[in-house]
Amino acid sequence: MVRAAVLPAVGAPLEIAEIELPDPGPGQVRVRLAAAGVCHSDLSLSNGTMRVPVPAVLGHEGAGTVVAVGEGVTQVAPGSRVVLNWAPSCGSCHACSLGEVWLCANALTGAGNVYARRASDGSDLHPGLNVAAFAEETVVPVSCVLPAPDGIPLTEAALLGCAVLTGYGAVHHSAQVQPGESVAVFGAGGVGLAVLQAARIAGAAQIVAVDVSPEKEPLAREAGATDYVVASEATAREVRALTGGNGVDVAVECVGRAVTIRAAWESTRRGGRTTVVGIGGKDQQVTFNALEIFHWGRTLAGCVYGNSDPARDLPVLAEHVRAGRLDLGGLVTDRIALDGIPAAFDNMIAGKGGRALVVF
């Protein structure tokens, strides 16, 4: 038996409980977690913004050590250090055939499976976003693990599985920021801080961080922000004023709220690019009129998982880390235990801190 944070029902508080994991079956591996990041997507799953079968063990950003493998597994062995991959591509759907593995139609089918049982009553448990990282150990398909890069502690490597892949990919794959361009980043949480670092790595000349919390300014500047704006109704005007009245070349929205998406759009120069990373609810309606779409000539694009291919991008990120260009520890503002996840959710709702990291 292992301890896990269980979501008993949508909207219900998380419960720390003992669960029973089966031995890994064919094509499966059992992983002992070293750390798991608390992502806004986990909050969205808990409150019903995103839907998965429940009861479930959430958590999708993690790293650990393989402790057992099932029949037919040759890619890893007990003792292998791995990063969890919560969105494995099937390789055969239409998106995968186009090379757009981040849009794989079958990436989340595993979330509907029963992967463990609650020890107290034997009730079925589902694996949140495939990997159930809010637990001391988990059992996942081998497609859900990637080799952890050498020379990087597993506690920090956990962040590569979502926040960093998403933030780096938003800058380098989706927005395709070029050296000398200006960038505005809306939201300075875990993903936003990764976007700021990625913009610096890309060679952006001016990087404006926008957040509701003035307390996040030191974090944002350490990550690469050259300017900081406390979000208000005047945000777009302030960003344009910082860029000679033109607006930034690229705005990256990491919040997922209609008002923030609109502000990011209005902060972008004529002909610029606005990339939306944040996951919002269906009630968050963003409106544009036909004339402004024509006049401003801006591009508005969604961005799923940073438009990343984890197998391709993880080695690239690792090299940035080893070279000192990417600071994984700089994303973490709180190191917590399993029972600290609800407080981490509250901090996200209140706009406090960067990434909270569950350390086992």
Residues 19 and 121 in one domain: yes
> How many CB atoms lie under 10 A from the CB of residue 141?
22
Q: Are 224 and 289 in contact (CB under 8 A)?
A: no
pLDDT at 74 over 90: yes
Integer Cα distance of 144 and 128 in angstroms? 13
pLDDT at 86 over 90: yes
Residues 261 and 279 in one domain: yes
Residues 242 and 189 in one domain: yes
Range(s) of the domain holding residue 112 = 2-161+327-359
Establish if 155 belongs to a structural domain.
yes
Q: Is the peptide bond before 149 cis (omega within 30 degrees of 0)?
A: no
Residues 297 and 266 in one domain: yes
pLDDT per position as a tens digit, 7-51: 999 999 999 999 999 999 999 999 999 999 999 899 999 988 888
Residues 21 and 136 in one domain: yes
How many domains is the chain partitioned into structurally? 2
Q: What is the pLDDT of residue 353?
A: 87
Q: Give the residue-averaged pLDDT of 269-288.
A: 95
pLDDT at 129 over 90: yes
Residues 128 and 194 in one domain: no
Establish if 78 belongs to a structural domain.
yes
Integer Cα distance of 305 and 279 in angstroms? 11
Q: Which band of pLDDT confidence, cut at 50, 70 and 90, is reported for residue 210?
A: very high
Residues 12 and 121 in one domain: yes
pLDDT at 255 over 90: yes
Residues facing 65 on adjacent strands: 32, 81
> Which of 62-71, 113-122, 221-230, 349-358 is least confident?
349-358
Establish if 319 belongs to a structural domain.
no
pLDDT at 207 over 90: yes
Q: Is 42 left (phi over 0), alpha (psi -120 to 50) or beta?
A: alpha
CATH value at residue 341: 3.90.180.10
Establish if 211 belongs to a structural domain.
yes
Q: What is the pLDDT of residue 138?
A: 98
Residues of the chain with pLDDT > 70: what percent?
Answer: 100
Q: What is the pLDDT of residue 59?
A: 96
CA-wise closest residue to 233 among 208, 273, 266:
266
Establish if 96 belongs to a structural domain.
yes
Integer Cα distance of 107 and 1 in angstroms? 28
Establish if 343 belongs to a structural domain.
yes
Residues 96 and 34 in one domain: yes
> How many CB atoms lie under 10 A from the CB of residue 20?
13
Establish if 22 belongs to a structural domain.
yes
Q: Give the residue-averaged pLDDT of 318-342.
A: 96
Angle between helices 40-47 and 341-349 (to 10 degrees): 90
Q: Give the residue-averaged pLDDT of 324-328.
A: 97
Residues 298 and 266 in one domain: yes
Residues of the chain with pLDDT > 90: what percent?
Answer: 94
pLDDT at 105 over 90: yes
Establish if 312 belongs to a structural domain.
no
Q: What is the pLDDT of residue 330?
A: 94
Residues 177 and 147 in one domain: no
Model pTM score: 0.96
Q: Which band of pLDDT confidence, cut at 50, 70 and 90, is reported for residue 52?
A: confident
CATH value at residue 294: 3.40.50.720
Q: What is the pLDDT of residue 152?
A: 96
Q: What is the pLDDT of residue 108?
A: 93
CA-wise closest residue to 115 among 55, 63, 40:
55
Q: What is the pLDDT of residue 281?
A: 87
Integer Cα distance of 231 and 218 in angstroms? 16
Residues 229 and 253 in one domain: yes
Give the count of alpha carbons within 13 A of 15, CB side only: 17
Residues 73 and 178 in one domain: no
> Which of 51-55, 68-72, 239-243 is least confident?
51-55
